[in-house]
């Protein structure tokens, strides 16, 4: 992991295949990385409805279930 000011590298783009997810830790917090449509997204790795790790779900299009 490297810090470049505004961004902190937590994974290489090749580590998250298109349509896939990867859980990482950043500053003691669990973060879910998602690759959707050629873009990468990072969200807190916890479902707000069930307090369950999103990384244990599935990515269907742009929705984590």
Q: What is the pLDDT averaged over residues 33-62?
A: 94
Residue-wise pLDDT tens digits, 26-43? 999 999 999 999 999 999
Residue-wise pLDDT tens digits, 8-31? 899 999 999 999 999 999 999 999
Q: What is the pLDDT averaged over residues 49-56?
A: 92
For 26-64, b/e burial (b = at least 16 CB within 10 A) is: eeeeebbbbbbeeeeeeeebbeeeeeeebbebebeeeeb
pLDDT of residue 51: 86
- Better pLDDT: 53 or 1: 53
Q: What is the pTM of this model?
A: 0.86
């Amino acid at each position: 992991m490297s810090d470049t000011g505004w961004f902190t590298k937590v994974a290489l783009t090749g580590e998250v295949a298109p349509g896939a997810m990867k859980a990482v830790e950043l500053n003691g917090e669990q973060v879910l990385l998602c690759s959707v449509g050629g873009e990468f997204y990072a969200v807190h790795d916890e479902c707000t409805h069930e307090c369950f790790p999103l990384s244990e779900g599935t990515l269907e299009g742009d929705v984590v279930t």
